[in-house]
Structure 1
Amino acid sequence: MTNAEHISEIATLDNVVSPDKVRLLQLLQTQKAAFLAEPYPSYRSRIDDLKRLKAAILASKETLLSALEKDFHYRSHDESLLGDIFSSLSSIDYATKHLRQWMKPQKRHVGVVFQPAKAEVLYQPRGVVGIISPWNYPVFLTIGPLVAAIAAGNRAMIKVSEFTPHTNTVLRHLLGEVFSQDKVCVVHGETDVAQAFSSLPFDHLLFTGSTQVGRHVMKAASENLVSVTLELGGKSPVIIDNNISLDAAVSRFIYGKTMNAGQTCVAPDYIYCPKNRVDELVDAIKTRYLAMYPSIDGCNKRTRVINHRQYTRLQGYLEEASNLGANVIPLGDVASDETSCFMPLTLITGADQSMAVMREEIFGPILPIVAYDNIEQVIASINENSRPLGLYIQSHDKAFQNKVLRETHAGGVCINDAAFHVVVDDLPFGGIGESGMGSYHGVEGFRTFSHAKSLFKRGRICFSDMLFPPYGKKIHDLFYRFFIR
């Protein structure tokens, strides 16, 4: 069955084929046909695409900053420059620098039994990949996967979040100037479009978003046996040891939490602090926060919570925690504002598992502090729950660091830092368990969007037929004696 026939069959078998599904299937069929006409784009073609993409981002920088500001009610231009623009350009630069090496066939060892022969792995484009990007970093989490997909020689359909319409418009125009629709296209729409998109027979699908939605995406993809990369989230803890300076520890993790108003999948979600140091930690965070965000600026230059729905959800966490006996501590001199969706960083002490703030991913400027007696207690607590996307160790004690590294699981770890492993281009980024499946960035991104095709190659000389039937020959006895032992 051809790709076109397969897509047509899917449309026919659907009980109700929505206009959105038909439109998406047509886009997919167009891209698949274009891919079959050029199934292995040259190195030069891929490099040209990446360079033109970089130039288009730079040319649209100010427009993107303005669009991001509108979508968030207000978003710090510095945070947009660092979190969306710089990270996107950095991923392009890194791929451009290393692509030639990534594309080379990888030589593999051939055992003596199979000599003379050669073995290689060829990295072949998968075809048409689907990318579902979220709202929290709508540029970087669209461009980052796209860079990996283009570097690997694919075509891409991108479903952008409905919560960032202004940024989406800029991205659609930007990408439309660089790529034809049959190479890269951007799809807008609400939940029904997202559902239709995730059910398409892509050659690979990457989703970034919540664990709950990730389950639905994976289920939809499985109907067409589409391989998936899921970049999810979860509750990423900070662990502070009993010997480190709290001022030093806070300086290492606080920006990972406050950047983008905590709306980052790898933001610290809560802190494990030695029981006798909790009050000292609260004071250290207060001091550092006020230095970073002085009240003289009010909230005029601070990133907002994305919309009223998310603002209400976060305020609900605080209200429930307070009603159940926790201590809620807003920081700074500027109060929350429902109209503009502004929230300051808010600490919680005395929280427990009866509270939603300790069970669900926070994804906002709320930071619970959990007191602990010993590191074994912390490790047991982490291992009893879903494996986090990030884990952040604040310690200069090598034994402490290694104990946590060996005895816990997480998608990624930072020691004396938090969240910034994501923008180290040569590190794979991905979760484990409920925090994700698969990884990308750097060479792992290239390989995620490639099929590793094994190649076993023989020349004119071949001795393998000596082991062919009829069995019982002397060569069989010698082979078994030397190689089966």
Structure 2
Amino acid sequence: MNAPDNDLHQTLLLMRQAQVQDPLPGWPARAARLRALERMLLEQREAFADAISTDFGNRPREETDLLEIFPSLSGLRHALRHGRRWMRPRRGMAGMAFLPAGIMTVPQPRGVIGIIVPWNYPLYLAVGPLIDALAAGNRAMIKMSEFTPRFSALFAEQCGRYFKADEVRVITGDADVAQAFSGLPFDHLLFTGSTAVGHHVMRAAAQHLTPVTLELGGKSPAIVGPNARFEHAVERILYGKLVNAGQTCIAPDYVLLPKQRVGDFLQAAKRVAKRLYPEASRATQYASIATDRHYRRLASLRDSAVAAGARAESLFDGGDDATRRLLGPTLLLGVDDSMAVMREEIFGPLLPLVTYDSLDQAIAYIGSHPHPLALYLFEDDRNTIERVLAQTHAGGVTVNDTLYHIAQHGLPFGGVGKSGMGGYHGEAGFRTFSHMKPVFRQARLNGVGLLNPPYGATFKRMVKWLFKLG
């Protein structure tokens, strides 16, 4: 649906009316919607992968399976296993002064959820929040990215087949449509994208006091600690950086490593890159940069860093292929904070190496910059791990690997500070898209009448008792 403003408002109105008619769907209805989504993913898996690859120029089907289809199916099945339990009210006892009253929190659907999807993982970043919204009993409107037009159109078409129009509606269109979408009076709005656009989304949502979850980005560091298994660290950093050609919001953005290990990192990285992407497979198993604009931006970041004194070390032989938007992975040595590559989120296969003399210096460097969406630490000493965790801020952390904290259903995924606010995934996502309504239930026999006016001696004795009780 490529809709003008009035159509967007009308769609939201119809979905809200449907929600009013069924404000608290039971688990069978929620599970049926989740299973419809599961069927769609399984039945349209190949078509979705083909469309994404076409939009990118080339995106390996293996990466779409691993990084989009699998986590989507896994999240669905987790919600189907646990969603009924998440729905149950949580009961407890009132405070001592109010006994024998009881309390409980009742999860209630927020209503109609707005989801704004970026281009880099267009399937997973649509389906992931949709799972949580449906499990929580909501309806959802999804704005797809204009930078993945084939997949966006296909996803909209298929959602129209597998869902009723008042359950899930997919919106396509350009930046003007996205702007209008973000200004709709949703009951909750989730945006995944850049920090710069996140400012605009939050301002638009503020018109209606719409609560927002912002999944942004930033410069996520990978620390190679003094007791790291070095070859392992290099391999896992390169893996996290090069899948999807680095077009991942939680990809390692730069590496902090001991000054004396720069040469070792360079040599190990060349070996790892050759092993991960041998000559024959590079054309098919290494992703293209999604658009010409993003390709030019990345080339400019690299070239301007070199012009300012950095040294570029390519990890592939043969250079770039602008026609197919293939940008070879490149280490950047001798960088500093004056360079654009160290000020902007890279979002591509460029990897600056930043050296430190002591771990304190590395921790201080991270602390002097905006909080990242992810932090990666390679270290085997437990005390050092605890120290880094205690002294740094990040939306999420993976120790001795990269990326995988995003795939844990028992962990919320989200940012902190400039890398975002709020979180979702699993039960955390269920709670994000639910109003946890507090309920106080007074007992038939109670003493609250003793506090009624007119205030006299009985009231004073009761207040004195309450002060002691706390």
Give me the TM-score of the superposition, normalised by structure 2: 0.97
| 271-280 or 162-171: bigger deviation | 162-171
1:152 positional shift = 0.5
The residue that corresponds to 1:434 in the other structure is 418
SS in 2 for 1:363: coil
> Is 1:339 paired with 2:334?
no
| 165-174 or 113-122: bigger deviation | 165-174
The residue that corresponds to 1:424 in the other structure is 408
Paired letter, 1:118: G
1:482 positional shift = 5.5
1:462 positional shift = 2.0
1:481 positional shift = 4.2
1:296 positional shift = 2.5
Number of residues paired by the alignment? 468
Q: 1:157 aligns with which of 124, 129, 141?
A: 141
Cα distance in 1 for residues equivalent to 2:282 and 2:71: 28
> Is 1:48 paired with 2:32?
yes
Paired letter, 1:166: R
SS in 2 for 1:230: strand
The residue that corresponds to 2:95 in the other structure is 111
1:365 positional shift = 0.5
Cα distance in 2 for residues equivalent to 1:369 and 1:19: 45
Q: 1:452 aligns with which of 433, 436, 442?
A: 436
Cα distance in 1 for residues equivalent to 2:112 and 2:418: 26
1:266 positional shift = 0.4
**Contact conserved, 1:240 with 1:274, CA < 8 A, in 2?**
yes
Q: 1:468 aligns with which of 452, 456, 464?
A: 452
Unaligned 5+ segments in structure 2 are: none
> Is 1:308 paired with 2:292?
yes
The residue that corresponds to 1:358 in the other structure is 342
The residue that corresponds to 2:119 in the other structure is 135
What whole-Å deviation, never above 9, does each CA across 1:295-335 have from its counterpart, x for those lacking one? Answer: 13342332111011000000001111110110101112242
SS in 2 for 1:299: helix
> Is 1:319 paired with 2:277?
no
What whole-Å deviation, never above 9, does each CA across 1:411-469 have from its counterpart, x for those lacking one? Answer: 00111011111011111000000000100001010000000100011232121111222
Q: Quick one: percent identity of the two aligned structures?
A: 46
The residue that corresponds to 1:14 in the other structure is none
Distance 1:460 1:243, change over 3 A: closer
SS in 2 for 1:300: helix
**Contact conserved, 1:426 with 1:442, CA < 8 A, in 2?**
yes
**Contact conserved, 1:57 with 1:174, CA < 8 A, in 2?**
no
SS in 1 for 2:49: helix
1:19 positional shift = 7.3
Cα distance in 1 for residues equivalent to 2:459 and 2:452: 10
Paired letter, 1:141: L
**Contact conserved, 1:352 with 1:358, CA < 8 A, in 2?**
yes
Give me the TM-score of the superposition, normalised by structure 1: 0.94
The residue that corresponds to 1:372 in the other structure is 356
Paired letter, 2:241: K
**Contact conserved, 2:217 with 2:420, CA < 8 A, in 1?**
yes
Residue pairs, 1:16-415, within 5 angstroms? 20-415=4-399
| 347-356 or 329-338: bigger deviation | 329-338
What whole-Å deviation, never above 9, does each CA across 1:28-50 have from its counterpart, x for those lacking one? Answer: 11111111111111110000110
SS in 2 for 1:418: coil
| 245-254 or 384-393: bigger deviation | 245-254
Cα distance in 1 for residues equivalent to 2:93 and 2:309: 63
Cα distance in 1 for residues equivalent to 2:271 and 2:402: 19
| 407-416 or 108-117: bigger deviation | 108-117
Tell me how large the CA RMSD over aligned residues is: 1.3
Cα distance in 2 for residues equivalent to 1:427 and 1:257: 22
What whole-Å deviation, never above 9, does each CA across 1:2-40 have from its counterpart, x for those lacking one? Answer: xxxxxxxxxxxxxxxx97111100111111111111111
Paired letter, 2:372: P
1:377 positional shift = 1.0
SS in 1 for 2:180: helix
Cα distance in 1 for residues equivalent to 2:308 and 2:322: 23
**Contact conserved, 1:336 with 1:343, CA < 8 A, in 2?**
yes
**Contact conserved, 1:295 with 1:334, CA < 8 A, in 2?**
no
